[in-house]
Amino acid sequence: MNCRHMPALTATITTLTALALALPATPASARQRPACAGAGSVPTARNAPRVRSATLCLLNAQRARHHLPALRADRALGAAATRFARQMVRQGFFDHTSPGGSTMVGRIQHTAYARGARSWALAENIACGAGSTATPAEIVRLWMASAPHRANILNGDLRDIGLGVATGTPDGAAGATYVTDFGARRR
């Protein structure tokens, strides 16, 4: 499996939107200079916090352009997203459902995020890339160019986010695998 050549995978359920995107290379001339610190960084184990921060900055910049409130980082969603990104790399799969059958809803239900909520909504974007296609700027640019991914990012009902970034790709290439779990709780 080569994440750079995989077709886009999408699935939508009423209160759950799950999306996947494998990223093709983009010519340097088509890239814009990132405005968020670390947006042009290729993820490594050492710079993962900066990469997550840059990704959130870029996502919130997109939301601001559309007059939407900023996403808030949520620890429980972040832990679930990080575990899943690492699992995809470690087990060599690229999908919203793990080989063992766990889904985003199940993974989030095992966290503190949904506890005590009257209702909640979730969405997930996943991506992987190698080299320059693994930077936050490139990941967010390509998500915004994909209608289903863009819909998740610009969904004003979703207010929380967990960002997981794992070094490596499911096919073993040097690069990174991203998981963004979006959420909204009503208490």
Please tell me the predicted confidence (pLDDT) of residue 116: 87
pLDDT digits (tens, 9 = 90+) for 5-46: 333 332 222 233 334 444 444 444 444 544 899 999 999 989
pTM: 0.84
Indicate the pLDDT class of residue 3, thresholds 50, 70 and 90: low
How long is the chain? 187
Distance (Å, whole) CA 28 – CA 14: 38
Q: Which two tokens stand for residue 87?
A: 């699992």
With beta carbons less than 8 A apart as the criterion, state whether 4 and 130 touch: yes
Measured in whole angstroms, how far is the alpha carbon of residue 124 from the centre of its chain? 7
Calculate ∠ Cα 4-105-143, nearest 5°. 30
Neighbours of 49 (CB within 10 A): 11
132-162 confidence digits (pLDDT tens): 899 999 999 999 999 999 999 999 999 999 9
Q: Where are the alpha helices (DSSP H) in 92-166?
A: 104-109, 136-144, 147-153
What CA–CA distance (Å, rounded) separates 82 from 109? 15
Residue 122 has pLDDT above 80, yes or no: yes
Residues 143 and 148: their CA atoms lie apart, in Å, by 8
DSSP string computed for 15-33? TEEEEEEEPPP--GGGPPP
What pLDDT does residue 25 have? 47
Q: What is the pLDDT of residues 48-96, one digit of tens each?
A: 999 999 999 999 999 999 999 999 999 999 999 999 999 999 999 999 9
